[in-house]
Structure 1
């Protein structure tokens, strides 16, 4: 993965792993350095959504698909709630050099977009070999560096990589959550029309923001909901004072046990009510903690848009979008908490429900941004729980 001995090209970017491995490439995006955990994502499309997903805070994303950037960037596909805060991945790794955009929706070049967001990236390396390394040794702590003049203090970069504490024990939700409450009304994108507006809501959902994605909020609004987004540390009594019909626990980055120190007590207070509760990703993990389960770090995590998951409640298999490096320990789930979804890749937990209560969660990202829309039924399931609580007829999930 180092520069071939017969080339005279000076590398302008480096990836330095915590074990001292140095991988040379060509710099893309912002100049400078960033420390994070290196993972790989197997999605074939949606790189703008991936890099702006707040769940990737503290991570450097290796794209296994070789051609990244060929459809450019635009102002519609970002997922972070506050683009000015530039929440999302700190670094990116590509196999092929970024080409000029070729899409009618393109509004700019990926390289310029990365610079504006401060994302350090490199291209021109064997991403297959790096992916194989991660699969063998696990997600690695690393420093990614881009210097246009090709000058690096490699020993200092090695020290930075080796000295980073990693994601275990790290509460990153506090870095990406909303600073204050806000109302969300935008509905999903429609081809040739753009995003819509929910002007006549029929229910009220409070979304606890641990690093929420815009597409999740759009789907909630598309259900007919007025969505109130609240900060991760908001107390249960303040949430209940808003008189929601249901509570949504969002995705987010970092170690669920760390964020759970303040989030789990809030969730437990919400569980004392009869409100429908729906969690995903980090919200799923912390719901499991609140119910008495435990979570742990995965070897390489799940990152991609082609993961098969079985829904035990229907017997169906769906292809889903995933982005997580921690998982719920199925064996730790107490009586009364049922496993509803399981990964068909490795058997890890992907969903739970509280028996006899309108409380459930999934590990994957059911909004599918990017990815297939097999899991959109989960939002309708949540809406039906709200309708049932109000004595209203349900609608078909599919």
Structure 2
């Protein structure tokens, strides 16, 4: 079967249809990493988006359940230049994985041209449909997506001297794993948890997770989050970074086409050390309106955007990138180590290096 990828700017591209024969509409974005497609497809921060892979060949090593970031595919559709369809030593193929979950997949697409359109006109709505099928009406891009990916109830994992609360806006499983590997107990809370219930767990610190959409769509919860941040040592990752910035008076803005890949260089403003990072976000904290209570901890080497913050008086730090997804693979372990030190320097935490 043949399929068509139609962009809201009027451009369209054709290719071979490999996934389930159903339309998909969503914001189209691109990912620049050569590997990591399992993690990308199941990352809740990509919820509802159509993902274009820039690397020419995808699916080389199949799907291994140990690498999934959530229980299902989160993207609305998948676009690639070429898909590996040969034999695998273990696991299932990318095509089988997408088909089983009802996610349309196109291959043989001129992804370089698609990505050029996104780079020139910014992220936009797109539709994947069977060739010749009329386009549905264009829907506005959804910005409040967290309710679709948050945990329905409180769950506690692991055991240890420290008890960390993970505020769930659509957390990646590897964030939970990174915390558990450091020898603590972790309770995952829906982002709507009442303060009284959160406080009843006698937590030592909070991690505000990644998640999809516009951070300002959560504006009604920000005063509550600031109350938590002022009482608990806190770490914000990706969307969590943006929410902490908003809570203390900063503002956010949307990038034309975002940062999505495993090869984004960031510089630590205190050490001047440059390291590679894994990123997936559309929004950034505006450096022009940064409040005096926050200092810049990391900057993006390519565009100088803010990649991390720290509070000048409170034990609060943030990162826009994903410290649990170190491309190196040991970069940014210090983010978690500094978080645990901010909880209580006297408490020894095992670090699984």
TM-score bucket (shorter structure): over 0.9
Which residue number corresponds to residue 152 of structure 1?
Answer: 133
Partner of residue 329 from structure 1, selected from 263, 269, 286: 286
The 3 A distance-change label for structure 1 pair 369 and 396 is closer
The 3 A distance-change label for structure 1 pair 219 and 88 is same
Which residue number corresponds to residue 118 of structure 1?
Answer: 102
Contact 1:184 1:226 in 2 (8 A): yes
State the secondary structure of the residue aligned to 1:219. helix
Measured against aligned partners, the alpha-carbon deviations of 1:41-87 in whole angstroms (never above 9, x if no partner) come to: 0111110110000000121111011110111112211101xx1xx35
The 3 A distance-change label for structure 1 pair 94 and 394 is closer
What is the rounded CA distance, in whole Å, between the counterparts of 1:60 and 1:337 in structure 2?
Answer: 35
Q: C-alpha displacement at 1:282, in angstroms?
A: 0.5
Contact 2:182 2:351 in 1 (8 A): no
Query: Which consecutive unaligned segments of at least 5 residues does structure 1 have?
Result: 1-10, 186-199
1:1-398 aligned within 5 A: 12-80=2-70, 83=71, 86=72, 88-102=74-88, 104=89, 106-145=90-129, 147=130, 150-153=131-134, 157=135, 159-160=136-137, 163-167=138-142, 170-185=143-158, 200-262=159-221, 264-273=222-231, 275-368=232-325, 372-388=329-345, 391-392=346-347
Alignment length, in residue pairs? 353
What is the rounded CA distance, in whole Å, between the counterparts of 2:302 and 2:157 in structure 1?
Answer: 35
Measured against aligned partners, the alpha-carbon deviations of 1:161-195 in whole angstroms (never above 9, x if no partner) come to: xx22114xx2111110000000123xxxxxxxxxx
Q: C-alpha displacement at 1:375, in angstroms?
A: 1.3
Contact 1:91 1:144 in 2 (8 A): yes
The 3 A distance-change label for structure 1 pair 356 and 240 is same
State the secondary structure of the residue aligned to 1:327. strand
Query: Which consecutive unaligned segments of at least 5 residues does structure 2 have?
Result: none
Contact 1:306 1:371 in 2 (8 A): no
Measured against aligned partners, the alpha-carbon deviations of 1:280-301 in whole angstroms (never above 9, x if no partner) come to: 0111111111011111111010
What is the rounded CA distance, in whole Å, between the counterparts of 1:39 and 1:362 in structure 2?
Answer: 21
Superposition TM-score, scaled by structure 1 size: 0.84
The 3 A distance-change label for structure 1 pair 38 and 317 is same
Contact 2:183 2:350 in 1 (8 A): no
Contact 2:50 2:79 in 1 (8 A): yes
The 3 A distance-change label for structure 1 pair 221 and 397 is closer
Contact 1:43 1:371 in 2 (8 A): no
